[in-house]
Amino acid sequence: MSSLEALYQDILLDHHRSPRNFGELEAPQMKAEGFNPMCGDRVSVQLNLENEKIVPRFKGEGCSICLASASMMTEEIEGLRCEEALEKIAEMRDFMQGGEKNLEGDLSALSGVRRFPVRIKCALLPWTTLKEALDAKV
């Protein structure tokens, strides 16, 4: 394993062991649930807006890629406006579909997932679920 791969492993493990923003909101303004039958991953995303800034929570069970991706996602979108979060979702999707623009920060630890098409669904599930939650908002 290269040192870069080892670093990615550490980041993934860290998010898997101590997921950020894990739990539920008392009265979520937006929510959605996602399921990936390929792997059995389940994710629920809840959002509130405070002064138009996102307060995210997630819960889920599934593989480490999916849960780490969900944890990183909530870190990425916390404090963003809805339209900014939609841009992040588009960036993530572009990257997983082979786009040139690299992921930054902890998300870069998901770069290796692109080599495993089956796992791409795992990494994207939290993001498609987030999109559903945002789209459901009127």
Closest contact distance (angstroms) between CB of 118 and Zn ion is 8
Distance CA 41, CA 16 (A): 14
User: What phi-psi label fits residue 85: left (phi over 0), alpha (psi between -120 and 50 degrees) or beta?
Assistant: alpha
Stretch of residues binding Zn ion (CB under 5 A), selected from 12-20, 31-39, 53-61, 67-75: 31-39
63 forms part of the interface with Zn ion (CB under 5 A): yes
Which stretch, 81-89, 107-115, 119-127, 130-138, contacts Zn ion (CB under 5 A)?
A: 119-127
- CA 96 to CA 86: how far, in whole Å? 16
Contact 92, 72 (CB under 8 A): no
Among 11, 25, 39, 55, binds Zn ion (CB under 5 A): 39
- Taking 3-state DSSP, the helix, strand and coil percentages for the chain, each rounded to the nearest 5, stand at 55, 20, 25
CB of 21 to Zn ion, least distance (A): 19
Side chain identity at residue 4, one-letter code? L
Is residue 41 a contact point for Zn ion (CB under 5 A)? yes
Q: Is 11 in the site for Zn ion (CB under 5 A)?
A: no
Judged by the rule CB under 5 A, the positions of this chain that interact with Zn ion are: 39, 41, 62-63, 66, 122
